[in-house]
């Protein structure tokens, strides 16, 4: 009998034939499972980011509404991820069931977090507290996990936001008010009763702003050494330093207005603006200095303006009538922009870490002629000039913005034609509406506002980004953007009650 000396190795190898056929489907199934998991996890992560974004937006909107006496819960709903949302609706979050939104008003003790600038815990119209918590829940469909019995996954996000007044830092705010004759015409559509002028409507809007700003840290007695938001008032045309106080004192009777003089031209590179007080005929654009006494030494809750403050008296909220229309002058406002910017630079240097903002209210139609300007004016079209006046204003505002100032403009009845002296350069054919838009940064700028609904005007000037149109709401919006709500970090949110 012949021994079988065939190698055992081939026999073992032959026994492994067909194992690859078994392994490939298993590996393929594993790879598909991993891919399915990756797709479902990616979708889940993306959906959570959308829900978190909507929740944070809802909380911030609610926080903005607290001290302005708007319904904070309703505001939060508008900006949530729910189907009723006006701004943050995401279809994929609402496929299985509608997103649920639970806004809750509450309080975070300001004294526990003294460096956070929380406003007082109080009742503000329909809102009680100084913060709002929003929790949103959604159910997300899966793609492949349903094969393993997991067709949906619930997700949830929570955000807490402070009321306005919780923003960090402080502001130097220069408000520029047009007091040319056009502001003396009537406006019966600004929310005030009686026979009121456009200037009175504008000043009433500034009162709204002053109630929103924070003159000093919450819970402290206001003084010049702890100012948070400092506000100065400017006007055009130029008035004399000897009569400017007529805008905020009653010593000469409520019907006395400052004396206007020809337009002056501050330096484009000045780092301060403080006209000499002598002689008394010296022209000035500045009505008041930078003040933080507009809510008194101990701000009330809700905020109220304090008579006796020069700026409060100037805007007609004290015992005096407020700013008036001086004797006839035509419009030119590049000079006042340079003056306001120079003053802001100086104020910021005195208050390191503060931010600068400029707010200009006008119809935007520059109409001054050579005789309305001092003798240094030229016909060059470049500041100082009585040619291309609207363009000069845009250039001045752009320079301020380039230096770090946030420049707002409020177009008040700005027309679709005008600026008749802009006949060359980039501003050739520019309109008053386009000028005011350019001052705020151009088309679509969120710093450009317009009231085109006042009585007696054919204005069609509208902002593409800001849809509030009444002066009070415009100044409310500006104030909120300066002292806005902010999301509070977890360590602060833990104190929410």
User: What gap in Å lies between CA 412 and CA 452, rounded to an integer?
Assistant: 6
- Predicted confidence at residue 40, as pLDDT, reads 76
Question: What is the average per-residue pLDDT within 414-432?
Answer: 95
Phi and psi dihedrals of 385, rounded to 5? -150, 150
Average pLDDT, the chain: 88
Cα distances (angstroms) measured from residue 259 to each of 179, 240, 280, 449: 12, 6, 11, 30
Instruction: With a cut of 70, say whether residue 14 has pLDDT above it.
Output: no
pLDDT of residue 39: 80
167 pLDDT tier (thresholds 50, 70, 90): very low
Residue 87: partners with Cβ closer than 8 Å, 6 or more residues away: 57, 78, 79
Average pLDDT score over residue span 66-86: 85
The closest of 385, 417, 436 to 178, measured between CA atoms, is: 436
Alpha carbons 432 and 424: distance in angstroms, whole number: 16
- Helix axis angle for 334-350 and 389-402, nearest 10°, is 20
Distance CA 55, CA 32 (A): 34
Would you call 124 helix, strand, or coil by DSSP? Answer: strand
DSSP state of 285: E
Transcribe 165-227 into DSSP letters. Answer: T--SS-EEEEEEEE-SGGGGSB-SSSS--SS-BHHHHHHHHHHHHHHHS-SS-TTS---TTS-
Written as six digits, the tokens of 490 are: 């977890």
CB atoms within 10 A of CB 176: 25
Domains and CATH numbers, the chain: 23-162 (no CATH), 171-466 (3.40.50.410)
pLDDT digits (tens, 9 = 90+) for 351-407: 998 999 999 999 999 999 999 999 999 999 999 999 999 999 999 999 999 999 999
Q: Picking from 6-15, 29-38, 68-77, 149-158, which range would have the lowest pLDDT averaged per residue?
A: 6-15
Q: What is the pLDDT of residues 220-263, one digit of tens each?
A: 789 988 888 999 999 999 999 999 999 998 765 556 789 999 99
Q: How confident is the model at residue 433 (pLDDT cuts 50, 70, 90)?
A: very high
Give the pLDDT confidence score for residue 253 in this predicted structure.
53
Which residue is listed with tokens 């009537």? 186
Place of tokens 């008579």: 307
How many Cα atoms within 13 Å fall on the side-chain side of residue 475? 24
Mean pLDDT value of segment 135-154: 88
- pTM exceeds 0.75: no
């Amino acid at each position: 009998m012949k021994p079988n000396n065939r190698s055992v190795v081939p026999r073992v190898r032959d026994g492994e034939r067909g194992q690859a056929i078994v392994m490939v489907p298993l590996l393929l199934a594993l790879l598909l499972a991993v891919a399915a998991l990756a797709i479902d996890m990616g979708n889940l992560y993306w959906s959570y980011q959308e829900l978190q974004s909507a929740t944070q937006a809802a909380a911030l909107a609610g926080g903005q509404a607290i001290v302005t006496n708007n319904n904070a819960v309703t505001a939060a709903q508008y900006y949530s991820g729910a189907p009723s949302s006006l701004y943050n609706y995401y279809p994929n979050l609402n496929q299985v069931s509608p997103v649920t939104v639970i806004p809750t008003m509450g309080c975070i003790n300001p004294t526990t977090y003294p460096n956070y600038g929380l406003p007082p815990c109080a009742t503000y119209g329909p809102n009680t507290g100084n913060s709002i918590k929003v929790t949103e829940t959604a159910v997300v469909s899966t793609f492949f996990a349903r094969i393993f019995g997991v067709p949906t996954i619930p997700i949830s996000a929570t955000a807490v936001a402070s009321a306005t007044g919780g923003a960090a830092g402080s502001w130097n705010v220069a408000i520029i008010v047009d007091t040319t004759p056009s502001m003396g015409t009537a406006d019966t559509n600004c929310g005030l009763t009686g026979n009121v002028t456009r200037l009175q409507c504008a000043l009433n809007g500034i009162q709204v702003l002053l109630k929103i700003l924070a003159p000093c840290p919450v819970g402290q007695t206001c003084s010049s050494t702890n100012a948070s938001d400092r506000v100065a008032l400017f006007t055009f045309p130029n008035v004399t330093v000897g009569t400017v106080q007529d805008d905020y004192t009653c010593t000469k009777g409520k019907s006395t207005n400052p004396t206007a003089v020809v337009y002056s031209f501050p330096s484009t590179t000045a780092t301060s603006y403080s006209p000499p007080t002598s002689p008394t005929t010296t022209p000035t654009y500045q009505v008041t200095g930078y003040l933080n006494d507009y809510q008194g030494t101990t701000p009330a809750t809700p905020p109220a303006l304090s008579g006796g403050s020069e700026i409060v008296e100037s805007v007609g909220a004290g015992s005096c009538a407020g700013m008036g229309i001086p004797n006839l002058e035509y419009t030119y406002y590049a000079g006042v922009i340079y003056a306001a910017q120079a003053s802001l630079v100086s104020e910021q240097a005195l208050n390191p870490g503060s931010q600068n903002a400029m707010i200009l209210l006008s119809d935007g139609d520059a109409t001054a002629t050579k005789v309305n300007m001092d003798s240094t004016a030229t016909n060059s079209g470049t500041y100082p000039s009585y040619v291309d006046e609207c363009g000069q204003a845009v250039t001045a505002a752009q320079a301020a913005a380039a230096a770090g100032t946030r420049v707002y403009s409020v177009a008040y009845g700005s027309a679709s034609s005008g600026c008749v002296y802009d006949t060359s350069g980039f501003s050739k054919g520019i309109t008053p509406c386009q000028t005011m838009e350019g001052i705020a940064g151009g088309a679509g700028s969120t710093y450009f506002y317009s009231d085109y609904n006042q009585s007696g005007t054919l204005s069609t000037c509208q902002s593409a980004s800001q849809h509030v149109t009444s002066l009070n709401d415009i100044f409310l919006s500006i104030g909120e953007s300066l002292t806005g709500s902010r999301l509070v970090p977890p360590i602060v949110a833990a104190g929410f009650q």
